[in-house]
Structure 1
Amino acid sequence: MPDAAAPESTATDAGFLGRVQILGPRAFGTPLRVLAWLSFLAEVVIIGTGGAVRLTGSGLGCSEWPLCTPDSLVPIYADQGVHGLIEFGNRTMTGVVGLLALAVLLLTLHAIGGRRLLVRALWFALGGIVLAVVVYIASAAMGPVLGAALMSTALLLSVLAGAVDSLRRTTRRRDLAVLAWVTLVGIMMQAVVGGFAVISDLNPFIVGFHYTSSLLLVCVTAAYLVRMYAEPGRRESAVPTWFAVMSHVTGVALAATIFFGVLTTGNGPHSGDANIERVGFDATILAHVHSWPGYILATLVAVLTVAAWMLRLRPRRWLLTLVVAILVQVGVGVWQAREGLPEILVGIHMILASLSAAAYTVVVLNLKRPVAENS
């Protein structure tokens, strides 16, 4: 008598152990983990390339948007030199960041909702591309700038519609779906803001907003990594109330430090182009104003770190990371001020600000822990 057929790996190991207890960390495969890390790193790198554009005076290396020159999508070295290459390199990096965000989104949707959720998102994407092309063709006679703006708007609206549809149908790990969609939408909006920065001849407020939104996307991708490795389900506070309140006050100090830092840079010597002169606020005074919330921030983080290690609280290791980032940041800030704002130190300062914000994001997300379910 032939042997009875063995059950298919116990019903494929009971649906991979119930999709690892309803999508716990082990349910997300290596490709998604790798791409999520690459997405985070790319968001940091694009802050560096954007800083390079500004600090080398290449902000108008590509004088047009969406084209680089009135007649070419790519820079012409004989006409624009290295500045065109630097500016176009940053534009190209936007495409890399966008593709990584799209890959993370699609793999996330497939992991949490299966093929059906993924296919619906792809249909929205296809529809958005077709709509964007039709809009661009219809508006091309109005000029490339308006045509590109309308095309970007059509594509963005299609993505937003896809996000709403997807999130309405997402019943598990909606936190990851939201973060993945926010990243993609944010990058698309970033590209348009970058275009307006060129069109406005590097208006300092638009350039400052461009940097700030890039920094926020670093925080969003960092939050995605934290939640991807976290257990699903309800969460409860893992720290005393006073500690949580002080942590959020620290966030206000961090936001104020970054805000005044952006204003200071926007009115300093690194305007992004030799022919653009900053007017308005006094950069010397702003540099001092920028330092005040910075020192408050350093004090608050030091107090939180000591308290967290004494009480053995959950965020203590990431607070230590934040302490190191802020100490290096303060050191670089003082150094660059004394040396007359050399470009390399200003660029490092910009990148460190994004890493400090990312570390703070991780700290906040560790203020809570998964609720232990009763057996």
Structure 2
Amino acid sequence: MLDRFRHPTRGFVVGWAWASLVANCVIVVTGGLVRLTASGLGCPTWPRCTDESFVPHGALGLHGVIEFGNRLLTYVLVAIAIATWFAVRRWADAPVRASALTVAIAIGIPAQGVVGGITVLTDLNPWVVSLHFLLSMVLICLSAWLLRLVRGVEPAPVDAGRLWLVRATFAAMWVVVYLGTIVTGSGPHAGDLDAPRNGLRPDVWSTVHGYAVVVLIALTVAGLVALRKGPRTAFLATVWLLVAELAQGVIGYVQYVNDVPVVLVALHMVGATVLMSLAAWQLVNVRARVGTPVRVG
């Protein structure tokens, strides 16, 4: 292993880029499980678990173990980020931006830990919790970009209209995800029985969220039609994005009409990480065709 770090190949670096993407998705899901099991204040303070100890004690019960376990995963992410950075730095054929991306991801992970600590210190304020989630989405996007760079696949040149559709789809994805955090902040799964809610009506914001999903799907379908005779990588990325959106939409609707059961909410969070990964993958696999300036409006 040490020798492979000294003389990394493309396959070795790509493996670490995949590890970075998967790990940043996994910690979103485990963080969701902390909330869904009402373990958000299992460790009632930060950076210690309690005022006296960095680790949970028996009085905190299973909630303390779950919350502390999720905190420990941050160190796993840091280790993966450092390993990815080192592999890229040692790789003779590393793309120019790859090293900068590994640094951004490595800085973002401890920053995410700090935001997580603030959520605990604010007793799981839903607006801070949403920021915690959104920062993970940023790290997922950066990881997808890194993966495309180290795989050595050049983004496909497309005309201004197609590029606008892809960028609009990516922006719509962020709107959908953000609205989803508002719905979550108004719903029953607060992370702790005494945690505050944002005071908004979940039925109203679920409807707004649903309308945004319709817009997202419409943009994706339009992109699919526009790219059907275009670059294969961009077309396939759009196909998978549409499949994931439809699956996520079904899960979201079923969980809503069944009063958000824990299992479906967990699946919905898995879907959110997959969707953001695919939306970022679609975005980084296209670029403006030379001599075709992008104009909106």
Structure 2 stretches of 5 or more lacking a match? 1-6, 291-297
Which residue number corresponds to residue 196 of structure 1? Answer: 118
Deviation at 1:177, TM superposition (A): 0.9
Q: Distance in 2 between matches of 1:337 and 1:320?
A: 26
1:370 Cα offset (Å): 11
Asked whether the 8 Å contact 2:46–2:117 carries over to 1, the reply is yes
Match of 2:17?
A: 36
Q: 1:360 Cα deviation (Å)?
A: 1.1
Q: Is the 8 A contact 1:267 1:281 kept in 2?
A: yes
Q: What is the rounded CA distance, in whole Å, between the counterparts of 1:294 and 1:279 in structure 2?
A: 22
The offset of 1:29, in angstroms, is 4.1
Deviation of residue 219 (structure 1)? 1.3
Structure number with greater Rg is: 1
Is the contact made by 1:108 and 1:176 (CA closer than 8 Å) also made in structure 2? Answer: yes
Q: Secondary structure at the match of 1:74?
A: coil
Instruction: Provide the residue aligned with 1:331 in structure 2.
Output: 250
Selected match of 1:308 from 227, 238, 249: 227
The C-alpha deviation readout for 1:139-167, integer Å capped at 9, x for no partner, is xxxxxxxxxxxxxxxxxxxxxxxxxxxxx
Q: 1:36 to 1:187 in 2, by over 3 A?
A: same
Aligned length in residues: 284
Say whether 1:221 aligns with 2:143.
yes
Are the counterparts in 2 of residues 308 and 314 from structure 1 also a CA contact under 8 Å?
Answer: no
What RMSD over aligned residues (CA atoms) do the two structures have, in Å? Answer: 2.1
- How far has the Cα of 1:231 moved from its partner? 5.1
CA contact (8 A) 2:180 2:209 kept: yes
Q: Which residue of 176, 186, 189 corresponds with 1:267?
A: 186
Q: Could you tell me which of 47, 56, 61 is aligned with 1:66?
A: 47
CA distance in 2, matches of 1:238, 1:221: 22
* 1:9-63, Cα deviation, whole Å (9 max, x unpaired): xxxxxxxxxxxxxxxxx97344323222112111111011000001110000001
Matched, 1:298 2:217: yes
Could you tell me whether the CA contact under 8 Å between 1:244 and 1:367 is conserved in 2? Answer: yes
Change (3 A) 1:70 1:27: closer
Counterpart in 1 of 2:169? Answer: 250
Q: What percentage of residue pairs aligned between the two structures are identical?
A: 32
Structure 2 residue 278 is the aligned partner of structure 1 residue 367: no
Residue 71 of structure 2: aligned partner? 91
CA distance in 1, matches of 2:79, 2:231: 40
Q: 1:197 to 1:173 in 2, by over 3 A?
A: same
Kindly provide the amino acid, as one letter, of the partner of residue 181 in structure 1: V
Distance change in 2, residues 1:369/1:296 (3 Å): closer
Corresponding residue SS for 1:238 = strand
Matched residues in 1 for 2:263 and 2:8: separation? Answer: 42
Q: How far, CA to CA, are the matches of 1:279 and 1:320 in structure 2? A: 36
How far is the alpha carbon of 1:278 from its aligned partner? 1.1
Q: C-alpha distance in 1, partners of 2:210/2:190? A: 21
Cα deviations across residues 243-274 of structure 1 (Å, max 9, x unaligned)?
11111111221111111101110111111001
Structure 1: segments with no counterpart, 5+ residues? 1-25, 114-171
Paired residue type of 1:274: L
Give me the whole-angstrom Cα distance separating, in 1, the residues matched to 2:86 and 2:50: 34
User: C-alpha separation between the residues in 1 aligned to 2:78 and 2:288?
Assistant: 31
Residues 8 and 90 in structure 2, CA contact (< 8 A), matched pair in contact too: no
Residue of structure 2 equivalent to 1:111: 91
The answer (yes or no) to whether the contact 1:238–1:314 under 8 Å persists in 2 is no
Do the aligned partners of residues 370 and 102 (structure 1) sit closer, same or farther apart at CA in structure 2, a change above 3 Å counting? farther
Cα distance in 2, alignment partners of residues 316 and 195 from structure 1: 41
Quote the Cα distance in structure 1 between the aligned partners of 2:230 and 2:90: 41
The structure showing larger relative contact order (alpha-carbon pairs under 8 Å, at least 6 residues apart) is 2
The residue aligned with 2:59 is: 79
The residue matched to 2:228 in structure 1 has which SS? helix
Name the CA distance, whole Å, in 1 between partners of 2:230 and 2:100. 33
User: Do the aligned residues in 1 keep the contact of 2:112 with 2:135 (CA within 8 Å)?
Assistant: yes
1:181 aligned to which of 85, 103, 113: 103
Between the aligned partners of 2:258 and 2:202, the Cα distance in structure 1 is 15
Deviations 1:175-205 (A, max 9, x none): 1011101100110100110111101101111
Query: Do the aligned partners of 1:101 and 1:180 also contact (CA within 8 Å) in 2?
Result: yes
Q: Which secondary structure state, in structure 2, belongs to the residue aligned with residue 368 of structure 1?
A: strand
Indicate if the aligned counterparts of 1:105 and 1:181 stay in contact, CA closer than 8 A: yes
Pair 1:279–1:39, CA change in 2 (3 A): closer
Q: 1:331 and 1:231, CA in 2 relative to 1: closer, same or farther beyond 3 A?
A: closer
Other-structure match for 1:349 = 268
* In structure 2, distance between residues paired with 1:279 and 1:240: 43
- Cα distance in 1 for partners of 2:10, 2:234 equals 26
The alignment partner of 1:358 has SS state of helix
Name 1:149's counterpart in structure 2: none
